[in-house]
Structure 1
Amino acid sequence: MIRAILFFVKLALLVAVAVWLVEHPGLVRVDWQGYRLETSFGILVLLLLALAVLLYVLVRFYGSVLKAPFAFMRARNERKRRQGYLALTQGMVAVAAGDPEEAKRLARKADSLLEDPPLTMLLSAQAAQLNGDDDAAERYFTAMLKRPETEFLGLRGLLNAAVRKQDSAKALTLVKRAHEIRPQTDWVLRTLFDLQVKDGRWTEALSTVQEMAQGKLLSVEAANRHRAALQTERAREAAGKGDTAEALDRAKRALGHKADFVPAALEKARLLIEGGKHKRAAKLIESVWAVRPHPGLAALYERCWPGESALQRMRRFQSLAALNPQAVDSHVAVAKAALDAQLWGEARGQLDKAMVAGASANAYRLMASVVESEYGDVAKTRDWLAKAAAAPADPVWICGNCGAQAERWHAVCGHCGAFDSQEWRLPPRAEPLALPAIDGETAPDQRPSPVILPPAARQAAPEVTPPRPD
């Protein structure tokens, strides 16, 4: 509406000026070189306007002629740029699709069309990797390190190559450099931590855990468990060097992060016992046993009472078991102490409870020892040993990542390198497979091969009540 009003206002002004010129034509006379030009003022204005328009057209035309080569070059460069970006995009798609030849061809095309090496070096490196040319890929990634805008990408490419080649020293150097550029990046911190723990750099790994916790990459619980595992390894390291005071301090810090961390408790209790501080060791074991009993703690607890009789130690173990009376390890610990004190009835009673609670083969072997010591019955002893062979295997440290078993806890799995993945639990039980019948006949009676059942199948399997002693 406003534009329409303005248009009519302008039109009215033009009409008013035209009318005024018609009513007041005036006279304009020009004498020049013997020539005389006479006309009205209105006509002169029109002539001047026409001349101005003509000059404007001539100037624009002249400018277009002069700028034509430059305009042509700009259009040509813009077309090359569009084609280059198209080749770059298609090359990335070829890399994602796993087509090495197409990716290599498009990388060369993009490099020739785009005069911007940082954009094409990554595609060229990825194409070389896809084509199996690791040397060429490394050259491209190394060239990317020379430019600040591509240095981080180059570091990641070189780092991945070093990890694939299992060159831990080079990988650690590269990830540290990447950490200097982007210290809060998720994959940088996780890779740095993994390489540090695999190389036994426990102190450096503690600093990395702190950064990961501050960046919310680890929960509070996970961070504390990581710290406990690292401090435990630091304690072992100090103990191996003969620095008992430092080892005790580090074990104490580990338990400060996670009070029921069994590996740290085992390390600290052992150091206290070796230092003659038996009561402190016993108090530590009792505090951990109430939450997380472990056979290793029971073995150390026996050493906390030197000079005491077997009967006195048995009573100590009864007090220890009272802190966690439902645990299988509590029953087994008391049964072993009762066996040493030659209290056969107490030993059998504790082992009965352990078997009902789902004890492992160790309880059946102890029952065989009870029967042999009390009665000297070889047949019944062999019977219990046979039952021990058929019972679930004793708990061990099992890696939750690869399933590898270890007698002693380590922060890093010796098989797959996973950090803090070992758990104290029963190993998967081997169940026999029934041999299929052939042509309707009964399969021959032969010993089947053991098969490890998956967790779901083991949970679904019916529970078998352990045999009671004769």
Structure 2
Amino acid sequence: MWRALVFLALLAVAAYGAVWIADHPGTVTVVWNGYEIGMSLAIALTGVLVAAIIIGLIWAIVTGVIGLPASISRSTRERRRNKGLASLSRGMIAVGSGDPLAARRHAGDAERLLGSQPLTLLLKAQAAQISGDRDAAEQAFKRMADDPETRVLGLRGLFVEARRREDEGAARAYAAEAARLAPSVTWANEAVLEAQCADGEWSAATETVERRAALGLMDKHAARRQQAVLLTAAAQRHEAGEPDTAIEQALKAVKLAPDLVPAAVIAGRLLARRNDLRKAAKIVEAAWKATPHPELAKVYLNLRPGDSARDRLARAENLAKLSSWDPESRLVIAQAATEAKDFVRAREALAPLADDRPTARVCRMMARIEAAEHGAESGRSREWLARAARAPRDAAWVADGVISERWAPVSPVSGRLDAFVWKTPPEILAGPDEDDAPAPTEPVGPTEIPAVPTPAPVTTGSPAPATPGFLQTGAGAPSALSTPAPVNTSASPSPAPQAAADRSRRIA
């Protein structure tokens, strides 16, 4: 649209000029070397225009002939560049599709046509990787690392190759150099953090997490959580030899992550040793509300070593109220009631858990109650121990398929920070019968999953007498499939003695 308007405007100007010249006729006289040439103004202007066109054509021909070699060279370079880019594109497609022969062929063409450019070196390295030529890939990455423009990319390639050949020292060196050159590179920071955690350098790892958070590489909540985990790991190391340092680190961890169970356990235990019972109870209660854990209950019930069993039972009741009667709180009450010889209260606390597919800990707790009341050789105690061997798993620390009784700051499998989670491990399902299962085409090894250890069943020197309600097998031992005698399952728990409750309140 605008071009048409401009053309019409120029045409109008030209027409106006022609009309103006026609309305104002004149004569142009040229005198040269004794000759006098006269012509009208219109003819003179036309002659000047034709002469300008001829001169322009001559100039274009001369400059074209002079610049012909350069033009041919430029055209050749452009064709090589286009061919090189096409080879580079085809090579990337071949790498993505997993065709090593095509990838190496196109990588060679791209390097021949484009030279040692960053993308050609990257294509050459990737083609060597999918071809299994680790030496060629490493050489390409080294060439990239020598170029300031591609140094970080080359270091990452060298890092990956070092990990593949299990050279952990070289991998750490490459990651540290990349993190120094480009502090915002995520993979380098993660590799450095993983190495620091593997070496137990908790202070250096904390600084790395703080730097990543400052650069915006992770959100603030995740950074606070990781800092708390690292501080807890340091507190674990210093708890035995340097309790002052340990309690300072544990309190910082609790402030960053109040629901981190190991931090609350260490802080509560060390504060109790300092006789700061109020603060210890507050920290443990806050963590218990988020995650009821047996270690928290152990610390809370033993804040004052000289307390009676009734005092500990009252504190167990308080934990149950804080967690809205979580199953873990019922186990804590049962244990405290058993120590206080209040077996009725212990059974009442465990009744909802014992009636509905009890876990191994519930079975062992019931066995302990029966043993404490009727003796270790009682049939009911042995019956509950037998059920514990086949009962569902209890919650444990789980990370990357590893089940552990103790918390650790990093996973022993992947080295990931804050990997352990307190949860119920997956059950091991039984396979089909051998008669019904089809024969496998190749041998398959069994998958081993670590199990939570269970206590060995109680053995006696002589067969136990027959007990009513048990199915007798063999020499008189109760069957593992028999059902224990019913217990009193009162719906409402009986309150603890008022005096013990008053003494428990004074802690808070």
TM class by smaller structure: 0.7 to 0.9
Q: Distance in 2 between matches of 1:45 and 1:383?
A: 124
Match runs of 1:359-378 below 5 Å? 359-376=358-375, 378=378
User: CA deviation digits over 1:188-236, x for unaligned, max 9?
Assistant: 4444433433343322332333344445543443332222211101112
1:18 to 1:129, Cα distance in 2 relative to 1, 3 A: same
- The RMSD of aligned alpha carbons is 3.4
Q: Distance in 2 between matches of 1:280 and 1:40?
A: 117
> Is residue 67 of structure 1 aligned with residue 36 of structure 2?
no
Letter aligned with residue 97 of structure 1: S
Q: Distance in 2 between matches of 1:25 and 1:334?
A: 124
> Is residue 30 of structure 1 aligned with residue 33 of structure 2?
yes
Match for residue 11 of structure 2? 7
Q: Distance in 2 between matches of 1:438 and 1:57?
A: 95
SS in 1 for 2:413: coil
Match for residue 388 of structure 2? 388
> Is residue 422 of structure 1 aligned with residue 420 of structure 2?
yes
Q: Distance in 2 between matches of 1:468 and 1:358?
A: 16
Match runs of 1:22-421 below 5 Å? 24=27, 28=31, 30-31=33-34, 37=35, 39-41=37-39, 53-239=53-239, 242-273=241-272, 281-282=280-281, 284-356=283-355, 359-376=358-375, 378-399=378-399, 402-421=400-419
SS in 2 for 1:293: coil
- More moved, 49-58 vs 113-122: 49-58
1:127 to 1:381, Cα distance in 2 relative to 1, 3 A: same
Q: Bigger relative contact order, structure 1 or 2, given CA contacts below 8 A and separation 6+?
A: 2
Q: Distance in 2 between matches of 1:133 and 1:384?
A: 61
1:346 to 1:90, Cα distance in 2 relative to 1, 3 A: same
Tell me the TM-score normalized by structure 1. Answer: 0.81
Q: Is the 8 A contact 1:100 1:127 kept in 2?
A: yes
Instruction: Give the drift of 1:310.
Output: 3.3
Size of the alignment, in residue pairs? Answer: 439
Instruction: Give the drift of 1:125.
Output: 1.3
Q: Distance in 1 between matches of 2:119 and 2:447?
A: 56
Instruction: Give the drift of 1:325.
Output: 4.9
Q: Distance in 2 between matches of 1:25 and 1:224?
A: 93
Q: Distance in 1 between matches of 2:436 and 2:333?
A: 52
Letter aligned with residue 196 of structure 2: Q
1:239 to 1:169, Cα distance in 2 relative to 1, 3 A: farther
Instruction: Give the drift of 1:73.
Output: 0.9
Tell me the TM-score normalized by structure 2. Answer: 0.75
Q: Distance in 2 between matches of 1:129 and 1:450?
A: 31
- More moved, 68-77 vs 296-305: 296-305
Instruction: Give the drift of 1:184.
Output: 3.0
Instruction: Give the drift of 1:160.
Output: 2.0
1:73 to 1:388, Cα distance in 2 relative to 1, 3 A: same
Q: Distance in 2 between matches of 1:325 and 1:63?
A: 94
Q: Distance in 2 between matches of 1:86 and 1:280?
A: 70
Letter aligned with residue 17 of structure 2: L
SS in 1 for 2:239: helix
Runs (5+) with no aligned partner, structure 1:
32-36, 440-448, 453-465
SS in 1 for 2:262: helix
Letter aligned with residue 251 of structure 1: A
1:13 to 1:430, Cα distance in 2 relative to 1, 3 A: closer
- Structure 1 or 2: larger helix share? 1
Instruction: Give the drift of 1:451.
Output: 12
Q: Distance in 2 between matches of 1:147 and 1:119?
A: 12
Q: Is the 8 A contact 1:433 1:451 kept in 2?
A: no
Instruction: Give the drift of 1:346.
Output: 2.0
Q: Distance in 2 between matches of 1:306 and 1:237?
A: 24
